[in-house]
Amino acid sequence: MAGHSKWANIQHRKGRQDAARSKLFSKLSKEITVAAKLGDPDPDKNPRLRLAVKEAKSLSMPKENIERAIKKAVGGDAEAYEEIRYEGYGPGGVAIIVETMTDNRNRTASNVRSYFTKYGGNLGETGSVGFMFDRMGQILFPASVGSADAVMEAAIEAGASDVESSEDGHVIWTEFEDLADVSAALEESLGEAESTKLVWKPQTTTELDLAGMQKLMKLIEALEDDDDVQSVTSNFEASDEVMAQL
């Protein structure tokens, strides 16, 4: 399914190899620590923490790293992180949402602005592109868990909003506030998901040619390489031929 591969590219570009692994684990640890600090340190009593731990496990983060991140919050020695969202346009008029966690608002704002400027983008005010996205829960299952009909039936029973199935797998959508409950129900019927997280789902997409995609990827990679940036979401669309050439 094109949408499935697009989402892999838009929300979490797994093409980044082992060099980015420690950086990824650092970002996951930060989310786990913040979730544990803001709520209960027991994942069973804290939906945000439960989702953060589940996502970390799906990305093969070692158990000891997860436990260390939770203990950091419980011990009271965790940094005071502020969650800030930035919005703007990239090359070709593509809408971009950047979610950050930072202990230095000025540093993060300066860095994000510089990336947009350097790589042909334009950072806007909060809300400048957010209206073009819906905050949704996204659950990914491999195609092997069952047929499209079986997964659709399980998703409806679990309270999901929509399902997209193809030979590449199943993408199940939920209202953002229902993600934890739907995920738990689907785990009972379908087993462990490949990924469970909140995402920004674009209402419309902007198609880019190869040159536009190359420019956009430079901006996205610069943003993702920043330690303060937790996620980067864009509403780009590109043909399979263009994606193959990247």
Percent above pLDDT 70 for the chain = 91
Is residue 15 a part of any domain in this protein?
yes
- The enclosing domain of 14 has a CATH number of 1.10.10.200
Task: Select from 138, 216, 225, 241 the least CA-distant residue to 180.
Answer: 138
pTM, two decimal places: 0.83
User: What pLDDT is stored for residue 114 in this prediction?
Assistant: 97
Is residue 234 a part of any domain in this protein?
no
Is residue 64 a part of any domain in this protein?
yes
Low-confidence ranges of the chain (pLDDT < 50): 1-5, 7-16
Is residue 216 a part of any domain in this protein?
no
Task: Select from 234, 197, 241, 198 the least CA-distant residue to 219.
Answer: 234
pLDDT in tens, 68-96: 999 988 877 667 889 999 999 999 999 99
Is residue 69 a part of any domain in this protein?
yes
Residue at token pair 């780009």: 236
Domain that holds residue 10: 2-74
Distance (Å) of CA 138 to CA 11, 63, 224 = 11, 23, 20
Q: Return the CA Rg of the chain.
A: 18
Is residue 14 a part of any domain in this protein?
yes
User: What pLDDT is stored for residue 11 in this prediction?
Assistant: 47
User: What pLDDT is stored for residue 12 in this prediction?
Assistant: 45
User: What pLDDT is stored for residue 233 in this prediction?
Assistant: 94
Residue ranges with strand state E in the chain:
82-89, 95-102, 122-124, 133-141, 162-166, 169-175, 195-202, 206-207, 229-234, 236-237
For the chain, the domain total comes to: 1
Is residue 60 a part of any domain in this protein?
yes
Is residue 223 a part of any domain in this protein?
no
Cα–Cα distance, 35 to 68 (Å, whole number): 13
